[in-house]
Structure formats: structure tokens, C-alpha cells
Amino acid sequence: MARILALYGSPRRGGTTETIMDAFIEEARARGHEVEEIRLCSVRILPCTECGACNLTGTCTLVDSMNSLYGKVRDAYHIVIAVPVFFSSVPSQVKAFIDRFQCWWVSRERLGREPRPRGGLLVPLVAGARGSEQDLVCVRRTLAAFADTTGFSMGSGVFIKAEDSRDVPRKSALREMMRAVLEEIEG
């Protein structure tokens, strides 16, 4: 079974995205997948300062939790990321995490080195109050750029229109959605 890195992208615990991700993890583990959970709001991620140090080595010189997170992304076969929509984009914790992969982009595009073998899916689990296509455009583009930079293919994932956890579909319906996500992952 696959090694899946599950990234919680919401700064709030007990909310919609946590409910959705928990349902995914429960279903994935029931199917025998190895899942590692990381709450991006609980780790120390400094913002990219665009210092240019990575232009020479393809390695970021900032010292924080990203030093271990790079390895976790490198070792994952799939990534599932649960994010709420914040002003038609991802929360700042997720954006800071993604921005720090600039060094991988430099490594691949400028230095000719692949930071990880290409393969696997990046699957978004997105929750937003309005549910409009316009809200999803920036979220999809941001996550697609991250997927490309890190060597993953973009999965279709799910979008759930929900303002808070009370709006999340019933457990049986949510379980069916997560089964569909896992079928995409299992290919």
C-alpha cells in the first residue's frame, strides 16, 4: 500500500477541513495505507525571504521545520492536503510552506536536478463557504504549481461547500467521497 503524507492546512482545529481530512485518513488506514499526518499550523515555517541562496545550491538556508518537511515530501508517494478557502486562496501557513519549495524549483529548472522522482498524486480536499468556481481558481493554481514543483501529478480531489463543520456532509456521504479519492490514488 502507498505512503501518504496528509497535510492539514487549516489554522483552526476541529473545523471543516479537519473533519474532512480525518474522514480521509480513517478510510485510507482502513484500506491499509500508511498515513503520516502533519498540521502545518503546528510546525515552525519561516517565510521565504527570496535571499537567493538557493540559486547556487538548490537548497534553502533557512533553519526551521522545513528541514524535516522536505524529506517527508520527498519520501511520500502521495500527498493529500486539506485546505479551507481564504479569500479565494490557501491559508498563509500553506502558502508559506509552498513558497519554501522555491529551492526545489531552482534545483529542477536552473540546476538540472530533480529533488524527488516524479510520480504520485497531490490530492486536494478543499472546503469553502461560497462554493463558487471563482473561489477555487487560485487554490487550484497554487496547488498545481506546488504539485509540479515537487514532482507530483495533480489529483482531482474534492470540494465541499461548508462554512463550518456542521455543514459537512453526513459521515456516510463523506466516507463515499473519501473512497472516491482513494480510488483515484490507488489508480
Give the per-residue pLDDT at 171.
Answer: 74
Beta-bridge mates of residue 29: none
Give the per-residue pLDDT at 132.
Answer: 65
Phi–psi pair at 124, nearest 5 degrees: -85, 140
Contacts of 141 (CB under 8 A, 6+ apart): none
Give the per-residue pLDDT at 31.
Answer: 95
Give the per-residue pLDDT at 21.
Answer: 95
The pTM assigned to this predicted structure is 0.92
Give the per-residue pLDDT at 185.
Answer: 93
- Residue among 58, 50, 60, 47 at smallest CA distance from 94: 47
From residue 133, give the alpha-carbon distance in Å to each of 39, 46, 107, 163, 168: 26, 31, 33, 16, 19
Residue 56 one-letter amino acid: L
Give the per-residue pLDDT at 46.
Answer: 97
Give the per-residue pLDDT at 108.
Answer: 93
pLDDT tens, N- to C-terminus, the chain (187 residues): 779 999 999 998 988 889 999 999 999 999 999 999 999 999 999 999 999 999 999 999 999 999 999 999 999 999 999 999 888 889 999 999 999 999 999 999 999 998 888 899 999 998 886 666 777 788 899 999 999 999 999 998 888 776 656 666 687 888 889 999 999 999 8
- Residue among 75, 70, 38, 24 at smallest CA distance from 185: 24
Q: Would you tell me which CATH number, out of the four given (3.10.20.30, 3.30.470.20, 3.40.50.360, 3.30.565.10), belongs to the domain 3-186?
A: 3.40.50.360
- Residue among 176, 160, 183 at smallest CA distance from 15: 160
Give the per-residue pLDDT at 145.
Answer: 96
CA distance 107 to 70: 13
Locate the domains of the chain by residue range.
3-186
